[in-house]
Amino acid sequence: MKHMPTTLRLGMFIVATLLILATGVFLIGNNQLLFGSTFRVKAEFQNVAGLNDGADVRIGGIHEGTVRNIDLPRRPDEKIVVKMDLRREARAVVKKDSIAYIKSEGMVGDKYVELSFGSPEAQRLSGGETLGSEPPVDMSDLIKKANQILDTTKGAVDNIQDTSGNLKSISSKIDQGQGTAGKLINDKTIYEQASAGATALRENMDALKHNFLVRGFFKKRGYEDSSELTQHEIARLPAAPSMKTFQYDSKQLFYKPDAAKLKNQKVLNEAGKFLEEKKFGLAVVTASTGTKGDTSKARVLSEARTVVIRDYIAQNFQLDDQRIRTMGIGKSEDGGEGGKVEIIVYPEAVKGREGPGGSAEKR
């Protein structure tokens, strides 16, 4: 059998090499969305936690896009902009109320962007929109907090060891009926009274733990008591005509019908920028719910939503927050099924009196 000519072998080697190279280019290009139809969206973060250009963008855990580039802000008060290219098919599930999260493979793996599904009633993306975002978890902060917890635990153990020597003395006095604790144990009447009081207190605490406010708004927002809900409240709207009104559907702003936690605060930026740039005398944040449900809970929920919106505008825009007041309306037929929110802006000639429950007057 004759040997294969050198020229033929060289040609076959070159063809095989080109096929391997073409396959590699296709696989890389397909992963980077170079050969398919795409559209672009953006998200803003204060810190991207090591995210790099070319990182995966996942939707429901599936690779559906690529981080095209990451832009530093031009000013210190701006955020980092992450631009992402997504497959055209992603428009079916990624909507204007979708949220962008920066996650990692395991504890110290590569970073990627995860996009949440949008709600069915939300608008579809046309390309170029800025999605809402959540700050990434910083491992150094977690380690720091873990060290603080360990230090606190060690201190508690040391205190227990320091006080263990007194336990025998305390126990002996209790057995002898000395002190309040001894009387509670040895005197049946006092014990029964104390037991009844403890039972009543436990029932009250259980009711408070399951209360609408503690479970929903207080727990999520960190407020200690309901007085903060009316701290900037105004009793009624000014009689003078307003200069601008921003109106929102509650479903557009909040996660749930009975919650006061913002899910899409970016929608409020137009009103915030208006208040930041324009001269105004008073801005009143009003909120109302639908006509269903408990009246007292609806009133508290509307107050909570006005406080959350006021806090967001006051913390993110440079303006006199003393001119921003709140008014929780509670149930209202004008609120529709899920309720509505309005930010009513009045000219400089109108101002609000100081203190909760104040009215508004002309200067």
- What was the pLDDT predicted at 115? 94
- What was the pLDDT predicted at 344? 95
Which residues in the chain land under pLDDT 70? 1-4, 24-36, 107-108, 138-142, 154, 157-159, 161-166, 168-227, 335, 351-363
d(C-alpha 64, C-alpha 85), whole Å: 9
Dihedral sign for Cα 322, 334, 336, 95, please: negative
- What was the pLDDT predicted at 225? 54
Render pLDDT for 47-65 as a digit per residue (tens, 0 to 9).
998 899 989 999 988 999 9
3-state secondary structure 273-334: HHHHHCCCCEEEEEEEECCCCCHHHHHHHHHHHHHHHHHHHHHHCCCCHHHEEEEEEEECHH
Per the CB < 8 A criterion, the answer to whether 134 and 43 are in contact is no
Q: Identify the three-state secondary structure at position 101.
A: strand
d(C-alpha 316, C-alpha 307), whole Å: 14
- What was the pLDDT predicted at 137? 75
DSSP annotation string for 178-235: -HHHHHHHH-HHHHHHHHHHHHHHHHHHHHHHTSHIIIIIIHHH---SGGGGGTTBBS
Q: Minimal CA–CA distance to 334: which of 271, 285, 286?
A: 286
The residue behind tokens 């003395």 is 169
Dihedral sign for Cα 122, 127, 129, 134, please: positive
Q: Largest Cα–Cα distance of the chain, in whole Å?
A: 114
Q: What amino acid is encoded at 46 in this protein?
A: Q
Query: Against a cut of 0.85, is the pTM above it?
Result: no
d(C-alpha 312, C-alpha 317), whole Å: 8
Please give the C-alpha separations between residue 33 and each of 22, 63, 91, 220, in angstroms, as whole numbers.
16, 10, 15, 39
d(C-alpha 305, C-alpha 361), whole Å: 25
Token representation of residue 246: 């921003």
Q: Minimal CA–CA distance to 97: which of 291, 319, 250, 281?
A: 250
- What was the pLDDT predicted at 243? 92
Token representation of residue 137: 């978890």
d(C-alpha 326, C-alpha 232), whole Å: 6
Render pLDDT for 75-110 as a digit per residue (tens, 0 to 9).
999 999 999 999 999 988 999 999 999 998 876 678
